Structure 1
């Protein structure tokens, strides 16, 4: 808005690791989603928000990731010019990434020259729902936006409860032969002096 020329710069400055842990996280992301919904925003600005959120996502807890990953995908759906962040063939490595996370001005962050390699890294996340949410960027982003409203209030307890209620996916292999010796040999030197229980 012309009345508040630094509005988006200040909003961008609020994005730090604590944003996933604050009491009013749901309200903050609801409003951020609203502020970033305009199709008149420049691509560099939206790219800066997507890139900073992606970088912060690397250290975010699973319950926050299940909310922020669809948020980032929705930004890319609304602003097709930013999809270059996903479709760039060989994204830069961390040490060669042109994006400057220390830059306070999103216009100077060089986010549009980068890629969202962070989301590719999160596709190998230990939590299956997170890796699935991060894999959405591999699909066509032409589908309608995903409402993040039900995900805004998601807590770690709720994620844990959902995991407990899931049925097992078949039998789980268990090791039933007790280990003997350090290298698996029954009569080696370690097995004679130490017993593994």
Structure 2
């Protein structure tokens, strides 16, 4: 197998951290941070990691492969979203997101959620060549997270094929029409 001649970037070079106060307008009916709001924060933060990695703004979110809500984040706490690139293919980039909550009164910090998000770097011009760097983990956490990249990538490829077939089988008729199964 020929040696990979791509440039190398460290996870740290792609790291992005955004911290926000959780306001009452950010809450669900359980008085904790609304999941959709958190997903938006994660996607925004992760997209910056990808642009830093690829040095390209022509990126699209392909999937949020896994989002595990581990601890509710309450009103008045802060939510800190930290992201970094954990692997890349020819045009796809995987990003890990770690969400930390903090009770700003007591100083208690906790992991609120973790997630993996996939992006695709899109060609702006037909003749454009996309050549993504390799990622080099340095810390114990980065090494552990990056170690599983290839397995997660293979699962995404398998899932993508299934999702395409699944979407083709799903009805596009308006829900108010009576659709009969296999007439």
TM more than 0.5: no
Q: Specify the structure having the higher radius of gyration (Cα).
A: 1
TM-score by length of 1: 0.23
TM-score by length of 2: 0.24
Task: Indicate the structure with greater strand content.
Answer: 2
